[in-house]
């Protein structure tokens, strides 16, 4: 069967740049990869066809030859799945050579190198975040197998050097004019082969477990901050290094305070009489109660700053401020006597200097009158 045009296979224009080619290949490889389509010969053929097109067009010299002479210009140069040097190669390794930068590297590195880092999302109250706290965390992880000391081999035996790669973990595959280095398909990059697997870990060198850790969270942390615990992540496969644990902080909403950096904000309801005549009001802080002086004629939205009553940052420096916003509360459920008193009070305002005693209302009403006069005559 005649081969399809490589540009047609990837669905790109003939002048497509490398980024466009790679994006097209990724899409097709994800769709047709044999691991995602087991026992599907059609999908495997499509994957190999896309891989062949990518291998030719991603190489500047081979692409130039293909553009000039077509398939004849690259025949015999190792193009295509199953070409020279690719017999027995693991499709998964080829897949990872293109997708490794998305998923954080090939499988070999994850299996035989340093262990994975772990993330633990920890929710704290505002008080805990501000003052610091010690928490006991249960961390699901992978630890080095005690039976085989992480080697993956049955006690009394040892892994042997891989004969395919000579213990290097990589093999060099010739493709006509050039060669590429791939993860060894036999040992998956470790350079060693376990002939007799350990019964406790099935040759993996690691076992799943749950570890309990006492973690000290420093004072001043905020949502999004991370506490790094070096060496408390997963153990590497077959003796590899240990990853780290990252405790990511999430501070729960507080019923009274809202935090913004090192400052705290809260709203305080103020009675009608206190707002008009002035007085003192008890205000909560994270350190206890303080008395706040309310000046006469305070309006809703007025801000009062209590310096140093905020939060000290985990990065150092002085504490922020507590900013109190006044909210004037209208009295409810008045009895007849109170209603009569308010009516008399309202009447006294009407007979007096309205504009001076209620400036905002007077200004607003003047604006309304002007609006109607200008728009409706």
Q: What is the largest CA-CA distance in the chain?
A: 106
Q: For residue 88, what pLDDT is reported?
A: 31
The CA–CA distances, whole Å, from 151 to 192, 202, 274 equal: 10, 11, 76
Give the up-direction half-sphere exposure of residue 192: CA atoms within 13 A in the CB hemisphere. 21
pLDDT-based confidence at 177, cuts 50/70/90? low
Just give the CATH number of 6-105.
1.10.287.110
Q: For residue 95, what pLDDT is reported?
A: 38
Q: For residue 355, what pLDDT is reported?
A: 56
pLDDT-based confidence at 96, cuts 50/70/90? very low
Using one digit for the tens of pLDDT, what is the confidence trace for 129-163? 999 999 999 988 888 888 988 888 899 898 899 88
6-105 against 258-332: fold identical = no
Task: Looking at the structure, give the CATH architecture of the domain made up of residues 258-332.
Answer: Sandwich (2.60)
> What CATH topology corresponds to 114-154+201-251?
HSP40/DNAj peptide-binding domain (2.60.260)
Tell me the average pLDDT of the chain. 81
Using one digit for the tens of pLDDT, what is the confidence trace for 226-264? 999 988 988 877 667 888 999 999 999 999 999 999 999
Q: What is the pTM of this model?
A: 0.56
The residue ranges of every structural domain in the chain are 6-105, 114-154+201-251, 160-193, 258-332, 345-377
CA Rg, the chain, in Å? 36
Q: For residue 194, what pLDDT is reported?
A: 87
Using one digit for the tens of pLDDT, what is the confidence trace for 36-94? 788 888 988 998 999 999 888 988 888 887 887 677 777 654 433 333 333 333 333 33
């Amino acid at each position: 069967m005649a081969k399809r045009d490589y540009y047609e296979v990837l669905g790109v224009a003939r002048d497509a740049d490398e980024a466009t080619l790679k994006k097209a290949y990724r899409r097709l490889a994800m769709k047709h990869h044999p691991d995602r389509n087991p026992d599907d010969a059609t999908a495997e053929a499509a994957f190999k066809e896309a891989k062949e097109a990518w291998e030719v067009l991603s190489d500047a010299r081979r692409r130039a030859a293909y553009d000039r002479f077509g398939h004849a210009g690259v025949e015999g140069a190792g193009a295509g799945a199953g070409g020279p040097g690719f017999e027995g190669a693991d499709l998964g390794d080829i897949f990872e050579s293109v997708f490794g930068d998305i998923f954080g590297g090939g499988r070999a590195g994850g299996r035989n190198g340093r262990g994975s880092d772990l993330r633990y999302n920890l929710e704290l109250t505002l008080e805990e975040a501000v003052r610091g706290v010690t928490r006991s965390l249960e961390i699901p992880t992978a630890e080095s197998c005690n039976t085989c000391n992480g080697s993956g081999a049955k006690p009394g035996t040892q892994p042997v050097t891989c004969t395919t790669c000579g213990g290097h973990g990589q093999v060099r595959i010739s493709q006509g004019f050039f060669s590429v280095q791939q993860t060894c398909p036999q040992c998956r990059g470790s350079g060693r082969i376990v002939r007799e697997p350990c019964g406790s870990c099935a040759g993996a060198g690691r076992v799943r477990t749950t570890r309990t850790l006492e973690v000290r969270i420093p004072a001043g942390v905020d949502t999004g901050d991370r506490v790094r615990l070096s060496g408390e992540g997963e153990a590497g496969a077959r003796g590899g290094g240990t990853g780290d644990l990252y405790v990511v902080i999430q501070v729960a909403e507080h019923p009274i305070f809202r935090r913004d950096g090192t400052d705290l904000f809260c709203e305080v309801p103020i009675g009608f009489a206190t707002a008009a005549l002035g007085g003192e009001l008890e205000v909560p802080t994270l350190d206890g109660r303080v008395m706040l002086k309310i000046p006469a004629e305070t309006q809703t939205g007025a801000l009062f700053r209590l310096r140093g009553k905020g939060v000290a940052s985990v990065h150092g420096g002085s504490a922020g401020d507590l900013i109190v916003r006044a909210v004037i509360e209208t009295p409810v459920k008045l009895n007849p006597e109170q209603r009569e008193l308010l009516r008399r009070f309202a009447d006294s305002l009407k007979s007096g200097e309205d504009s001076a005693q209620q400036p905002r209302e007077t200004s607003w009403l003047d604006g309304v009158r002007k609006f109607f006069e200008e728009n409706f005559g």
